[in-house]
Structure 1
Amino acid sequence: MARPDTQRHTLLEARQELSIGIRASEEWQPSYKAHPETFKALLKHEAELETGVAEYLAGLAERAPTYVDWSIYAEKLRASADGDLNATDAVWKAEGINFTQAVIDALELLIATGGQAGELTYGINLGITSLTDSVTKAAREQVAQLVSGVSDTNRKLIREAIKSSLARGENLQDAADRIRKVINNPVRAEMIAQTESVNAYQTGMKNFAVETGAKRKTWEALAGACKVCSPLDGETVDIDKMFSNGKDRPSAHPRCRCGLIYEY
């Protein structure tokens, strides 16, 4: 009989393959599919990022109840009050390290893939890999921003779960279960992965463009794009300027699949 960790690894691999197939069939701005090798890599690394985020959230769901001072919860329950029972900043700093370890490899690979797509599109070979200095630096910057947002959301989710439990008069076990459920959310992991994979890919593409002397960039939206992105389609600005939506590159919103064209 297979060991539980072996079974879980097999299930995760199967889930990644399924995710790749689903994402490949979705609508992307055509520039992403211009080079099959980089599009395949983008899908693969996005699936890996989703797995990393999902596994982190599953682990946090088990740790999170230990970050609540349940003696305070009991007092507030008796007083029919609510409040912030999250753990200290030191605990969340450690969680930031855990999250970084879960996603940094996938982000480096996604940024490198964007740079490699730039090499193929514009015919300039810089020899970009996931070990290139500009790639690793960009990955650290992106993960630092991501850690801040994810940690803030996690703490908010725990606070809201506690408030819901207090309002319902739930006992400690039920309150802990509620926290686990709101944290261990596969849909949230999917949204983070789909959004941050495009951010990383476009970061790699932009870094390539800057290094090779591109002067301008043009936003390319999907056919039938959402009301956020459709007004941007065809908008051109200098490479160091923001578009009219205040972004310097996609993604413009969660699960955005817009692209850019660079002009030399």
Structure 2
Amino acid sequence: MATRAELLKAREELHVAIHASEEWQDGYKASPDTFRRLLELEASLETAVGEYLHELSDRAVKYVDWSRLPEPIKADAGPVANNDDPVWNQEQVLLTAATIELITELIATGAIAGEYLYGIHMGFSSLDDAIMQAARLYTAQMVKGITETTRKLIRESVAKSIALGEDAQKATARLRTVIDNPVRADLIAQTEPVNAYQTGLRHYASATGAKKKTWDGLRGACQLCTPLIGKTIDIDELFTTPNGAELDHPAAHPRCRCSLVYIY
């Protein structure tokens, strides 16, 4: 029988094969090597986040005071460990350890792709100081967002258990299912790699003297991205999406496959 590690590796290989056939903005596929590396890192990030959430599902049940479950209390002010509880700092440490190397590689891959696209060799790698600094900042922001969402999901799960009058056993089972969610890991892994890759490409463009940037998207793009396609602004300006979000670069939404064309 295959081990869990072997099954996860097989799933990563399948992930690469499936997503390589999807429609991406042309810039991603311009270099077969960096495109495949992007997909491999995307698959690895899905595994890393999925395994983190799987393990967190065991720890999360300890962050709730189940003895208070019968009380008619609000989930955001009740039995769930609050935002200042040290357990959440530890969770951020664990998630950072699980993802920072992959994020560093993704940012470096974006910068290396820039060399192929624009022909100015800078010798970027995952060991570049600027790449590592960008990766630390990006990972911290990503981990904070994931942890805040996790806390929200725990509160909502407990609140639902309270509303349904579930006992601790049923409430615990519900919480485990909510946290150990492969769909959430997949969503994170199909969004954050594009963000990290584009962070690297942006770093390359800035370092090599690009002056402007143009949003480049897919035919039949979503309602958020379609109004941005073809829009050109100064490199330090922000794009504004129809919902009011301001972005330096894609991704504009989960599973976004848009990119930028930099102008020198």
Match of 1:249 in 2: 249
Q: Secondary structure at the match of 2:54?
A: helix
Shift of 1:169: 1.6
- Tell me how far apart the structure 1 counterparts of residues 105 and 73 of structure 2 sit (CA, whole Å): 47
Matches within 5 A, 1:8-157: 8-73=4-69, 77=70, 79-83=71-75, 84-88=78-82, 89-157=85-153
Alpha-carbon separation, structure 1, partners of 2:63 and 2:158: 12
Aligned length: 256
**How far off its partner does 1:72 sit?**
2.2
2:201 aligned with 1:191: no
Q: What is the CA deviation profile of residues 33-61 of structure 1, one whole-angstrom value per residue up to 9, with x for unaligned ones?
A: 01100000000001011111101100101
Deviates more, 1:45-54 or 1:161-170: 161-170
Partner of residue 261, structure 1: 261
What residue ranges of structure 2 are gaps of 5+ in the alignment? none
Identity %: 53
**One-letter amino acid of the counterpart of residue 217, structure 1:** K
CA RMSD of aligned residues (A): 1.2
CA distance in 1, matches of 2:262, 2:247: 15
Match of 1:237 among 233, 236, 248: 233
How many Å apart are 1:13 and its aligned residue?
0.1
Structure with the larger helix share = 1
Segments of structure 1 that go 5 or more residues without pairing to the other structure are none
Counterpart-to-counterpart distance in 2, 1:55 and 1:199:
21
Indicate conservation of the 8 Å contact 1:82/1:162, yes or no.
Answer: no
TM-score by length of 1: 0.94
CA distance in 2 between counterparts of 1:261 and 1:247 reads: 15
What secondary structure does 1:213 align onto?
Answer: coil
Q: 1:109, 1:85 → 2: CA distance?
A: 39
Normalised to the residue count of structure 2, the TM-score between the two structures is 0.94
1:165 and 2:152 matched = no
User: How many Å separate the matches in 1 of 2:159 and 2:226?
Assistant: 40
Compute the displacement of 1:87 (Å): 1.9
Could you give the per-residue CA deviations for residues 188-223 of structure 1, whole angstroms, max 9, x where no partner exists?
111111110000000000000000111000000111
